[in-house]
Amino acid sequence: MKTVYFTPGPAELYPSTIKHFQNGFKSHIASLSHRSKVFQEIFQEATSDLKKLLSIPDEYFIFFTGSGTEAIERTIQNCVEKTSFHFVNGSFSNRFYKTAQELNKKPLFYEAVLGEGFSFQEITIPKEAELICFTHNESSTGVMIPFEEIKNITKKYPDKLFALDIVSSVPYGNIDYSLLDVVFFSVQKGFGLPAGMGVMIVSPRAIKKAEAIMQKGISIGSYHNFPTLVDFAKKNLTPETPPVLELYVFSKVIKEMIAVGIGNMHQQTERKAKILYDFLDSSDTLSAFVQDPRFRSQTIIVADIQKVKGDIKKKLAEKGIIVGSGYGVNKETQIRIANFPTHSIVDIKRLIKALNSL
C-alpha cells in the first residue's frame, strides 16, 4: 500500500523529485563548485524558468534563502525603515508581524477572527506604513485571500511597497507579480521538494528601498541583503554556498510544471479542493473550518473534527493516508489536508474514501 502525505509541508514529494536527486548524484551535482559555469547554468535555468512558470516580470530578481522564515526576515530588513503594516489572521501572518518587532521596527497590524477573511474595504492603512504585508494562504487556519482583494489595495496605495507570503499557495494563485515587491515561498510545499530552501521574488522598487535604507546608515543585514544578492544574481551566483543539489532538482521540477501548464495545474487544484469541500459540507464526522467560500483555501483545507472515535490521524495512517494535525491550540480538534500539484485526483478520492470510513 502506497503511503500518501497530505501534510501541509514538509509534504508529499513531487512524483519526479527522487529521480532528479538520483540523476543529480550520478552527475556529481552535489560536489559541483558553486562558482562553476555549470552552477551558473543551473541558477540561470531555475530563475528564468520560474519566471516563465509564474509569469514574473523580467526585471524582477530571484533570490534563494535557507527557508521561507529567512525570507520574512530579509523582507523586513530590506524594505522597512520604521513601519510595516500586517494583515494578521493566524500564526504565520502573525510571525511576519512579530519578526518586524524583533528587528526593532514599529509594525502595525489589522487582525481578523481566526478562520475568517478580512473586510478589506473597511480597513485604512496608516500613512507611515512603508510596506504592506499579506499572507496569501494562512496555513494555520486554511484561509486564503483572493488575489483580487490584494490587487485592489495595491491600486489604492500606489506609493507603498507590498509583500506577499505565498509559502503554502504557490504555484496555485493568479498572482500579478508586477503589482508586488517581495513575494516568497519555500520549496517543501507546492513544489514537492525536501525542505531546505526559500525563494524570494523581488522588484526593482524593493532593491531601491533597501539601498535607501542602507544609505541612511541602517543595517539591512550582511550576505543576504538585497544589494549583495543582486550583485551575485546578476552573475547567476549566490553570496554563500547554496543548496546546489536542491536548486538543481528545483529547476527540473519547474520545467515539468511548465510542461503540465500552470492553467491546468490551477484547474486541477480547484477541482480537487471542490471534491474535498463538498465532502466536508456533507459529512457528519468532519466539517470545513472556514465558512465563507470566498476565503476557503484551495491548497490547505482545514477541517473541524465533529465526531470521530479514537485518534483520527492514526486511523488514517493505518490506511496509508497521512494528514496534518491542527495548528497550535487546534492541534487535537482539527486536521489539515494539503492539496498540492503532486496530489492526484486518485489520491484525493482515496483520501475521501478513508475519511468516509471513519
Whether the Cβ atoms of residue 140 and residue 92 lie closer than 8 Å to each other: yes
CB of 136 to a copy of itself, least distance (A): 17
Whether the Cβ atoms of residue 164 and residue 180 lie closer than 8 Å to each other: yes
Could you say whether residue 347 binds a copy of itself (CB under 8 A)?
no
Among 84, 154, 168, 186, contact with a copy of itself (rule: CB under 8 A): 186
How is residue 299 annotated by DSSP?
A: S
Which of 239, 217, 191 lies closest to 70, judged by CA?
A: 239
Among 231, 240, 256, 311, contact with a copy of itself (rule: CB under 8 A): 240
The CA–CA distances, whole Å, from 148 to 111, 190, 243, 279, 329 equal 19, 21, 35, 27, 31
CA distance 201 to 214: 20
CB of 65 to a copy of itself, least distance (A): 7
In the shown chain, the binding pattern of residues 276 to 315 toward a copy of itself, with x for contact by CB under 8 A and - for none, equals ----------------------------------------
In the shown chain, the binding pattern of residues 87 to 126 toward a copy of itself, with x for contact by CB under 8 A and - for none, equals --------x--xx--xxx----------------------
- 197 beta partners: none
Which of 138, 87, 94 lies closest to 115, judged by CA?
A: 138
In the shown chain, the binding pattern of residues 43 to 72 toward a copy of itself, with x for contact by CB under 8 A and - for none, equals ----------------------xxxxxx-x
CA distance 310 to 56: 47
Set of cell numbers at residue 115: 478562520
Set of cell numbers at residue 167: 509559502
Among 62, 108, 179, 322, contact with a copy of itself (rule: CB under 8 A): 322
How is residue 146 annotated by DSSP?
A: -
Could you say whether residue 23 binds a copy of itself (CB under 8 A)?
no
- Residue labelled with grid coordinates 514599529: 106
Could you say whether residue 217 binds a copy of itself (CB under 8 A)?
yes
Among 15, 28, 148, 258, contact with a copy of itself (rule: CB under 8 A): 28
CA distance 213 to 179: 22
CB of 282 to a copy of itself, least distance (A): 29
Number of residues that bind a copy of itself (CB under 8 A): 61
Could you say whether residue 5 binds a copy of itself (CB under 8 A)?
yes
- Residue labelled with grid coordinates 546578476: 234
Could you say whether residue 21 binds a copy of itself (CB under 8 A)?
yes
CB of 181 to a copy of itself, least distance (A): 20
Which of 304, 283, 280 lies closest to 293, judged by CA?
A: 280
Site residues for a copy of itself per CB under 8 A: 3, 5, 7, 9-13, 17-18, 21-22, 25, 28, 30-35, 65-70, 72-73, 76, 95, 98-99, 102-104, 186, 188, 193-197, 217-219, 221-225, 239-246, 322, 324-325
